[in-house]
Amino acid sequence: MESQKITFCNEISLMMFGFGDSHKPNPETVRLVEGIVLKQLRTIVQEALKYSDGKNLKGKELVFLMRHNKHKMRRFVQYLKNKQMKAALQSMNSTVIEIDKDPKPKGELMKFIEYIDETGEFTDFSEIDEVKQARVLRADRISQVLDEKRTSPQEIQRS
């Protein structure tokens, strides 16, 4: 029996569509993107294995690789916080919810992040994420251009 190769082409196609590509992107482009992503993942895993015990790769090693990028770390901490909130909401039986009772998620990864976070910048959400803000502005500009095209006189006459 031949083993099947795992592919992420369907997921990548959906992501490409979500980021503005056509509904059915060119299959060659999807395979190219998949190859690039897999190569990057292999590189990240190989780098993280340098900090592991050599047998198991844990989240700590991956977090350790991100430690120099405070924006990525903040996004990851926010993800952990959201994940904790979702789990708390699913496990609650009552309808009363105390939001932000403990704003920092507690878990093995969060404890490790607090341990390596000497300045507290990974858990400080008061500073604006410039990278995310730039993405939002780009997306807004693109949507405004699309709105202008959709409401052009030619478009109105066609409808």
- Is 72 in the same domain as 97? yes
Is the separation of the CB atoms in 105 and 80 below 8 Å? yes
The residue range of the domain holding 147 is 129-159
Beta strands in the chain (DSSP E): none
Same domain, 1 and 11: yes
CB within 8 Å of 121: residues ≥ 6 apart: 70, 73, 74, 127
Q: Is residue 27 part of a domain?
A: yes
In a domain, 135, yes or no: yes
Residues 113, 78, single domain; the answer is yes
Give domain status of residue 91, yes or no.
yes
Read off the pTM.
0.61
Lowest mean pLDDT of 54-58, 73-77, 92-96, name the range. Answer: 92-96
Residue 58 within a domain: no
Pair 118, 134 in one domain: no
On whether residue 63 sits in a domain, the answer given is no
Long-range contacts of 21-29 (CB under 8 A, 24+ apart): none
- pLDDT digit string, tens, across residues 92-135: 755 555 555 555 557 888 888 888 888 888 887 777 778 788 88
Total domain count for the chain?
Answer: 3
Closest CA to 123 of 108, 135, 107, 110: 110
Are 123 and 135 within one domain? no
Same domain, 2 and 40: yes
What is the distance between the alpha carbons of residues 123 and 62, in angstroms, rounded to a whole number? 17
Predicted pLDDT of residue 153 = 52
Any domain includes 42 = yes
pLDDT at 1 over 70: no
CATH number of the domain that 27 lies in? Answer: 1.10.20
- Answer yes or no: do 73 and 123 share one domain: yes
